[in-house]
Amino acid sequence: MPDEFDTLSFRVSPENLRGAIEILREGGGLARYPQAYQALVLERSRRELLAPPKEIHLARGVFDALPHSVQQLLAAEPS
């Protein structure tokens, strides 16, 4: 059973969320990064329906497999 340190949580600004999704989409999207891409697109969809922003949770291994530019966008403090 994974412990709490295997999951990372991120509060992501709308701009960084859009940017991360675009980078992943251009790099293979759902086919290459299924868990991360789904999590980000789901959060974007929630926000489009005017739901309040929620933290995005990713397994450490999923986060580590993302392009560095996406990691930076997710880890940046929202303004």
pLDDT in tens, 14-42: 999 999 999 999 999 999 999 999 999 99
The Cα–Cα gap between 9 and 40 comes to 12
Q: Is the pLDDT of residue 1 over 50?
A: no
CB-based contacts of 23: which residues, under 8 Å, 6+ apart?
Answer: 67, 69, 70, 73
pLDDT of the residue at 77: 82
The dihedral built from the CA positions of residue 32, 27, 35 and 50, taken in this order, carries a sign that is: negative
Asked whether the beta carbons of 58 and 43 are under 8 A apart, the reply is no
- Domain extent listing, the chain: 14-75
Provide the mean pLDDT of the chain.
93
